[in-house]
Structure 1
Amino acid sequence: MGSVVKLFCRPANRMRRLIRIGRLCRRVRPLLSREYRRVFRRVVRLCRQERFLPDEAFRLGLFDPGLSEEELACFVSRKKLTGVQESLNPVPWAPLLKDKSLLYRYCRAVGIRIPELYAIYFKGMPGWSNAGSFIDGANDWASFIDDRLPHEFIIKPAQSALGKGLMAFRRSENAFVDAAGLRCSALDICDLMSGDGEFDCFVIQQRLRNHPELIRLSGNSNLQTVRMISFVDMAGGADILQAQLKLITGDNVTDNFEYGLTG
């Protein structure tokens, strides 16, 4: 039965993918033009042979008819890159790297410097604080936020990526203010975490600020980072293969590019 379902799903998925490619092609060239057909065939080949998803290829600009084959060869799909990463990275490390509530405590244990970790919030369960005590219930959490957290702090989902769900707060008189300037209480902050429909665990940590020169460059004091791709060989030697400085544009809180929507 399982094999029958797979055989049925694959043609359906293939058809949906072709329809999506066709719709995206219409955003770069008229439907009945010769260029449309050429772009359509090329993107179908890229998705089939190089394992790009249609929207991934579109975001990377691979629908551009002006790109040469040499230029296209410089791009690697997420699926192919993941395959390379999985062949090199120890499989048991995957949960550690995906879950910030585990990763941050591991970094603390082995002496890797990270922003100060104040607490970990679990929906419907007692949480952890850096004072070594458990925090249980909305009232306990509100007291912790009011009494133990510093002037500024960050809250983000433990298993999110791309800056999704990140919240920045600072104290203002007898309340807290978020990045949008909205005032809230400690109980309101608890409600934001407990009422989240996607994430069940949040880390509460120190808010870092940029070096003054980065602030002068970008005009934004929110944290901007360098993303590095490193390779550790069998002898334990480490090489940095690539490094990218991620600058924030406008009034954004994070330096995530979000496929061109925020940068």
Structure 2
Amino acid sequence: MTNLPKKLIHTLRAIKLEVDRYERSPVRVIINWFNAFLKDLFSAREIRLYGLADPQDGAKLIQRYVSKEMADRFYRKANPESAILSIDDKFVFTSLCLQHHLPTPKTYGIFRRGVITKLNGEVFHDFNGFKNFMHELEPGEYLLKPNNGMLGLGLSSIEIENQGNLIFEGEVVSLDDFYQKLRLLESTLPASSKGDSVDMDFEGLIFQQRIDNHPEIRKLTGFRMLQTVRICTYVTEENQIEILFAFMKLAGKEGLADAFNLGKTGNMLAKVDPETGKFCKTYAMDLQQGYFIPVARHAITQMDLMGFIVPYWQETRILANNLSLSFLPLRAVGWDIAITEKGPVVLEGNGNWVPVVPFDISIEKLRQYKLKY
């Protein structure tokens, strides 16, 4: 069977799924489906995910959502390849944040091929150097994350107890054991990434302070997992800053990473009003059906999600704006920002982002920026 018949069969199946889903106005469902697919370049998966074929609201949703295809074209043009390293390399990103006086979790060094390098350039060679580095760390919990990872994969933590004991992944380990485990992790992570989770050119593990959510966020979900806000900004040619969209990732279970990853993690997604910081709508993923479903209350705490306002929202907006100007010539970046008890802290910038919520700029600007035809 050639590709064309395969594509036609796939298309017909996708359309039938949507007609069966809504059980009314099949002609309008089909019209919406083809408008989204042909005009705005949404994939069949995106049309189902966002409900774009809905006979009642689909046409309005198509106006506010942006397809991944159009987003890819947009940020590839807006973000020069030569500047991407400044956000893709988390060690470099942290160094630049410090230079620009932008709040970021305290970073102690990077473990790369058995060698620790600190932000000030100090180097600790082999196991003896590693031992000296570890002895400098105070009791507490530290996060270890791949320097160029994504989707929260490859994260682990190490706790140093007051007595000096090390707890790594739930078990007490010696310094020598910990060093060997990091060497093993460094050697096996690239092979296990399969090219779509952590970059194949693996470049070390960052030792970073593990920070905690603002108490109101912890109260909302009941989980310690750090739950961050994603603010996607665009800096125009006149250096005016637009917030394209904002959302918050909410924990559905305990862990180290709040990555949404289209709901596969069990986490939820709350669209945030960029002006007020208030949740507009919260979504969970129906993995069986393959589309978003609205959620009014958190399943664990039963807290009202619609009434929640992100703490320190205006400070968070200011931080996103400062980041946007500090990392020029990158112009279209998704900033992941944690909200702590003391205020917002930036974790990373993403030059490659998925527009999983409606945009907050007008259809005219979407067309002006060529996010829509």
Q: Name the TM-score, length of structure 1 as normaliser.
A: 0.73
Q: How does 1:88-103 map to 2 (within 5 A)?
A: 88-103=78-93
Q: How do 1:156-171 residues align onto structure 2 when only pairs under 5 Å count? A: 156-171=145-160
Compute the displacement of 1:40 (Å): 7.5
1:123-148, Cα deviation, whole Å (9 max, x unpaired): x47441246332444x3575267434
Q: Deviations for 1:35-82, whole angstroms, at most 9, x for unmatched residues? A: 999868865663443233444444334466665323233221122123
How many residue pairs end up in the alignment? 247
State the structure with bigger RCO (CA 8 A, min sep 6), 1 or 2: 2
* Aligned positions of 1:147-186 closer than 5 A: 147-150=135-138, 151-171=140-160, 174-178=165-169, 181=170, 185-186=177-178
Q: Secondary structure at the match of 2:111?
A: strand
- Percent identity, please: 24
Query: Alpha-carbon deviation of 1:251?
Result: 1.3
Alignment of structure 1 residues 207-222 onto 2, 5 Å? 207-222=210-225
In the TM superposition, residue 157 of structure 1 has moved relative to its aligned partner by 1.8
Contact 2:229 2:246 in 1 (8 A): yes
How far apart in 2 are the matches of 1:204 and 1:82? 31
Note the alpha carbon deviations across 1:156-200, whole angstroms, 9 max, x for none. 22222222222233236733233xx45554132332223212341
Counterpart-to-counterpart distance in 1, 2:120 and 2:27: 63
Instruction: Return the alpha-carbon distance in structure 2 between the equivalents of residues 18 and 120 of structure 1.
Output: 50
**Residue 116 of structure 1 contacts residue 205 of structure 1 at CA under 8 Å; is this kept in 2?**
yes
CA distance in 2, matches of 1:134, 1:77: 45
Residue 195, structure 1, aligned to residue 184, structure 2:
no
Q: 1:206 aligns with which of 205, 209, 227?
A: 209
**How do 1:74-85 and structure 2 match up within 5 A?**
74-85=64-75
Deviation at 1:211, TM superposition (A): 1.3
Q: Distance in 2 between matches of 1:29 and 1:144?
A: 65
Equivalent-residue separation in structure 2 for 1:256 and 1:116 (angstroms):
21
CA distance in 2, matches of 1:19, 1:254: 38
**TM-score scaled by length of structure 2:** 0.54
Shifted more, 93-102 versus 229-238: the winner is 229-238
Q: Is the 8 A contact 2:32 2:52 kept in 1?
A: no
Root-mean-square deviation (Å): 3.7
* Structure 2 unmatched runs, 5+: 194-198, 269-373
Distance 1:107 1:15 in 2: 52
* C-alpha distance after superposition, 1:90-136 (max 9, x if no partner): 553222222212211221222222111111233x4744124633244
- Cα offset, 1:86, TM superposition: 3.8
- 78, 93, 100: which one aligns with 1:110: 100
Contact kept, 8 Å, 2:144 with 2:208, in 1: the verdict is yes
Shift in Å at residue 210 of structure 1?
Answer: 0.9
More helix by share: 1
Match in the other structure for 1:71: 61
Q: Which moved more, 1:77-86 or 1:43-52?
A: 43-52
The equivalent of 1:6 in structure 2 is none
Distance 1:210-1:131 versus aligned 2 partners, 3 A rule:
same
